[in-house]
Chains A and B, each alone.
Chain A
Amino acid sequence: MVPEHIRKELSDHCAHYDSRRVGLIWVLQQLQEYYGGWLNDDAVREAADIVGVTEADAEGVATFYNWFFREPVGENVIVVCDSISCHLCGCDKITAHLEKRLGIKMGETTADKKYTLLPVVCLGNCDKSPCLMIGDELYDNVTPESLDKTLDEISSKPKAAAK
């Protein structure tokens, strides 16, 4: 359960819309961040309760969208665009490189919970393909070398303090 003051903040935010339900996606996003990057069953129930929709409705929404995770993800979610322009420009090589370096397949999380690797549809950055995102950061014209550099930097950073 989120602390009461956060709950209140989420609830108040919903009250700002002409229908509380409009706030559902935002509330789920906030809870996902609060719960370490993914939505557990409790988070879904909590969201339903805060917004005032049924549990089934909240779960329906939480499982529909690409950016809600109903399973734990790593500290850094890497999404690699595999749509047509990136495909033409070699995103498969990038994916293969990532899978090799991280020792996981697409859709998996590293044992140390540092990285989760996922495919994503077109990032709207086709003129700089291949491209990928790590967290909120977009990387253009990625090569195996540039990627290694980026990952080295991230790996050397201390783990962000958990909430």
Chain B
Amino acid sequence: MTTQKVLFKNIDTFKGVTPCSYEQYVKGGGYEGAKAAFKKTPHEVQQVIKDSNLRGRGGAGFPTGLKWSFVPMDNFKGQKYLICNCDEMEPGTFKDRALVYGDPHQLIEGMLIAAYALQMTKGFIFIRYEYKKGARILEEACAEAKKHGFLGKKLLGTDFEFELDVHLSAGRYICGEETALINSLEGKRANPRSKPPFPQIKGFLGQPTIVNNVETFCNMPHILAHGADWFKGLGLNGNAGTKIMGASGRVKNPGLWELPLGVPMRDILEKHAQGPSRGKAFKAVIPGGLSTPMMTPEQFDTPMDFDSIAKAGSRLGTAGLIVFDEGDCMVDSTANIMKFYARESCGFCTPCREGIPWILDIVRAIGAGNGEKDDMSILDDMSKHIMHTFCAFAPGAQGPFLSAITTFRSEFEAFIKSREAAAAGVN
């Protein structure tokens, strides 16, 4: 199967990334999508996006057209804001880095199209601190775009204007959550906000706001240039578009590949990532960034699309596979996973702030041979109740955690048993 390169047309991740220049971008058909969009009415552009079945690439897979439809349009006079979420701090996820570092104009064009469709005249690219260089690349690209009349006032022969700022975050995973991101952008602590009101109605500075992921925006120029039907045809089994998929961990050839939505996971693991890195069989895969439940080898034929992965009990998330092999201790891995969540919790709600560090303490104790008889039942209790938090962070932590203590329970129990045995003088 040959894959059509759409998003990665100008990017070769394996050769390291130098950003695609404006000239190069335009030569490859860049800004044609924007031109096509500006020939339509904003409503028509929204309709194209809706028809394309594009689903958000930030993790939740929410249909972009539907999300946009809540933005007040014709009779709304106030300021509206468009925000690109380039926080990308979810472990196992590194696709937005490639898109931003490799082809900044693709993102800018995508945002321009969205801004026009939603009549939003101000935009921000919220980029994580560690992508400081990416922020520079984007700033330069924005200046270039402005020079060529794709940002600023009177764009493409219309009265539409769009001002785009790059905001360098001060670093925090929770900033990726869209309402926390909005708070952060407003210069506040990045605690999430309660919904409703949804950002589409009351977001940044209390005004209608759309937050989309980098990759979501990057799809838009192509959809506008080639049409909704073309886009729908890119995926497999009725899934629309391609998806940047990645693999890291115990694979021979870690990396990123642009593949049709719906390719079997096995294809990625075996063909693209070229199998296990150290001769040990695969044991588990976290399919879409750390916040998704683990999957096991019998599930490797599951197609990598939102619905199929959900049906298999996990989530597609960001489609960044994290791969474990038989040599990996799942207690140790779980401790590492929970360390991430304990460290990055914003500290707002009780189960997340207090519960996750407790889970971490217990898992670490088990791993260090200090597990106790009741530990598994505490972990079972906790695995349920960290679900009920303010934002999706703690449920995200629950995903890999619950699957680990369920699927690999025997490993946890073995640690606890061996301690009991040691205590009883048996070796």
Contact = CB atoms under 8 A, between A and B. Distances in A.
Given A82-B336, A122-B90, A127-B246, A66 B187 contact: no
A67 to B, nearest CB: 4
A85 B187 contact: no
A18 B79 contact: yes
Contact of A124 (B79, B97, B328, B336): B97
Contacts of B256: 127
B45 interface: no
A121 B93 contact: no
B92 interface: yes
Interface residues of B, number: 54
B384 interface: no
B184 A25 contact: yes
A89 B133 CA distance: 25
Contacts of B290: 83-84, 122
Most buried by B among A25, A65, A122: A122
Contact of A65 (B93, B131, B133, B169): B169
Given A82-B336, A87-B336, A122-B91, A24 B130 contact: no
A127 B248 contact: yes
Interface in A3-60: 18-19, 21-26, 28-29, 51, 53, 57, 60
A84 B246 contact: no
Interface in A96-121: 120-121
B171 A66 contact: yes
B171 A127 contact: no
B132 interface: yes
A129 to B, nearest CB: 6
Given A66-B170, A124-B131, A51 B187 contact: yes
A90 B328 CA distance: 12
Given A22-B186, A125-B97, A133-B130, A85 B170 contact: no
A125 B97 CA distance: 8
A83 B171 contact: no
Contacts of B205: 18-19, 22
B254 interface: yes
Most buried by A among B91, B122, B167: B91
A28 B170 contact: yes
A79 B89 CA distance: 14
B128 interface: yes
B91 A85 contact: yes
Nearest to A83: B91
Chain A's interface size range is 35 or more
A88 interface: yes
A145 interface: no
Contacts of B223: none
A18 B80 CA distance: 11
A151 interface: no
B185 interface: yes
A26 B168 contact: yes
B217 interface: no
A127 B172 CA distance: 21
Given A22-B185, A126-B94, A121 B89 contact: yes
Given A19-B186, A120-B130, A126 B172 contact: no
A84 B338 CA distance: 10
Nearest to B96: A124
A95 to B, nearest CB: 13
B324 interface: yes
B90 to A, nearest CB: 7
B418 interface: no
Contacts of B249: 84-85, 88-89, 126
A50 B184 CA distance: 18
A137 B316 CA distance: 31
Contacts of B128: 124
Contacts of A121: 89, 91, 173, 340, 343-344
Contact of B92 (A21, A84, A136): A84
Contacts of B133: 136, 138
Contacts of A89: 249
Given A19-B186, A21-B188, A84-B290, A124 B248 contact: no
| Nearest 3 pairs of A and B residues by beta carbon | A24-B187, A65-B170, A126-B248
11 contacts: A25-B167, A25-B169, A28-B170, A64-B170, A67-B169, A68-B170, A83-B290, A122-B89, A124-B88, A126-B322, A127-B254
Interface of B: 79, 88-94, 96-97, 122, 128-133, 167-173, 184-190, 205, 246-250, 254-256, 286, 290, 320, 322, 324, 328, 333, 336-337, 339-340, 343-344, 346
Interface of A: 18-19, 21-26, 28-29, 51, 53, 57, 60-61, 64-68, 79, 82-85, 87-89, 120-129, 133, 136, 138
